[in-house]
């Protein structure tokens, strides 16, 4: 039994937004199939958001069929492009009705993996000088969701807490101080995130900063191969 992470599958099997037109994404569906060959059926894969371009669960059906057929149990986070997601209950009902097995949703909760807890939330990019979607209210909700996840892990007695996000808690030139403060409060030492693509890769922060190890797992950054997590 092993633990893996990858983000940003950006599938479009039931919608008309293929990623092949972008640099580095040619043949990405086949690359994902090949990358998942390293995953065994009893392994667990954390999917760090932006799974499908489907705007609704119906539009996302073929993408989730594809993900369901990949090996391993999947724990999924919401990304900024996961428009299909309304509530965790509706998603789980949809999975059950379609026979898509092995899905769990990381949303205000945590999951056990051996002696460690899998925690996290979508996260957000907030800049008080920017208008539109980059606003403090959304960030505040994400901070509360992260704390709820970590509190759940602490309440179950987990000493080690692994954090997963869609948005990066930090990248070059940007620090999400509120998210980082919550991780430090609960003693988080390692986290994984996605969201960044293409030329943005050069801004990704990887390695240990102020006691927290950062790992970027966007699909195009890791060549569409789920990354093994040493636990």
Model confidence pLDDT, tens digit, residues 116-149: 999 999 999 865 555 555 678 889 999 999 999 9
Contact at 8 Å (CB) between 206 and 216? Answer: yes
The pLDDT of residue 127: 57
Domain ranges, residue 141: 3-229
Contacts of 86 (CB under 8 A, 6+ apart): none
Angstrom distance (rounded) from CA 147 to CA 181: 10
**Pairing label, strands 170-171, 174-175:** antiparallel
This prediction has a pTM of: 0.94
Sign of CA dihedral 95, 97, 101, 105: positive
Query: What is the predicted pLDDT for the residue at 137?
Result: 86
pLDDT of residue 132: 53
Low-confidence ranges of the chain (pLDDT < 50): none
Residue of 206, 160, 221, 225 whose CA lies nearest to 186:
160
Q: Which residue in 97, 60, 62, 100 sits closest to 78, CA to CA?
A: 60
**What is the predicted pLDDT for the residue at 133?**
56
Q: Check residue 53 and give its pLDDT.
A: 94
Whole-Å CA distances, 80 to 48, 158, 223: 11, 29, 21
Q: What is the mean pLDDT of the chain?
A: 93
116/119 Cα distance (integer angstroms): 9
User: Strand, coil or helix: what is 134?
Assistant: coil
| Number of compact structural domains in the chain | 1
- For the beta carbon of residue 83, count every other beta carbon within 10 angstroms: 15
CATH no. for residue 148? 3.60.21.10
Q: Do 222 and 8 meet the contact criterion of CB atoms below 8 Å apart? A: no
For the chain, report the end-to-end CA distance as a whole number of angstroms. 11
Give 49-72 pLDDT, tens digit per residue: 999 999 999 999 999 999 999 999
Determine the Cα–Cα distance for residues 228 and 103; give it in Å rounded to an integer: 19
- What per-residue confidence (pLDDT) applies to 174? 84
pLDDT of residue 96: 96
Rounded to the nearest 10°, the torsion over CA 55, 56, 58, 61 is 60
Residue 85 φ then ψ, to 5°: -80, 120
Structure tokens, 186: 């609960």
């Amino acid at each position: 039994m092993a633990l893996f992470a990858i983000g940003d599958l950006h599938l479009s099997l039931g919608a008309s937004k293929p990623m092949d037109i972008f640099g580095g994404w040619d043949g990405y569906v086949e690359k994902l199939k090949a990358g998942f060959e390293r995953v065994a059926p009893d392994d667990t894969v954390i999917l760090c958001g932006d799974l499908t371009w489907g705007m609704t669960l119906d539009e996302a059906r073929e993408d989730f069929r594809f993900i369901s057929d990949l090996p391993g149990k999947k724990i999924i986070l919401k990304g900024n492009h996961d428009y299909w997601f309304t509530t965790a209950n509706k998603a789980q009902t949809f999975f059950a009705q379609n026979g898509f097995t092995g899905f769990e949703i990381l949303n205000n909760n945590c999951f056990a993996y051996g002696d460690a807890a899998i925690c996290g939330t979508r996260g957000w990019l907030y800049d008080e000088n920017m208008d539109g979607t980059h606003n403090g209210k959304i960030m505040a909700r994400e901070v509360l969701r992260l704390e709820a996840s970590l509190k759940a892990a602490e309440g179950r007695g987990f000493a080690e807490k692994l954090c997963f996000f869609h948005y990066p808690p930090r990248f070059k030139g940007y620090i999400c101080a509120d998210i980082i403060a919550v991780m430090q409060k609960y003693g988080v030492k390692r986290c994984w995130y996605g969201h960044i693509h293409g030329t943005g890769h050069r801004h990704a922060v990887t390695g240990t900063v102020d006691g927290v190890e950062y790992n970027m797992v966007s699909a195009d950054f890791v060549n569409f191969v789920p990354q093994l997590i040493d636990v």
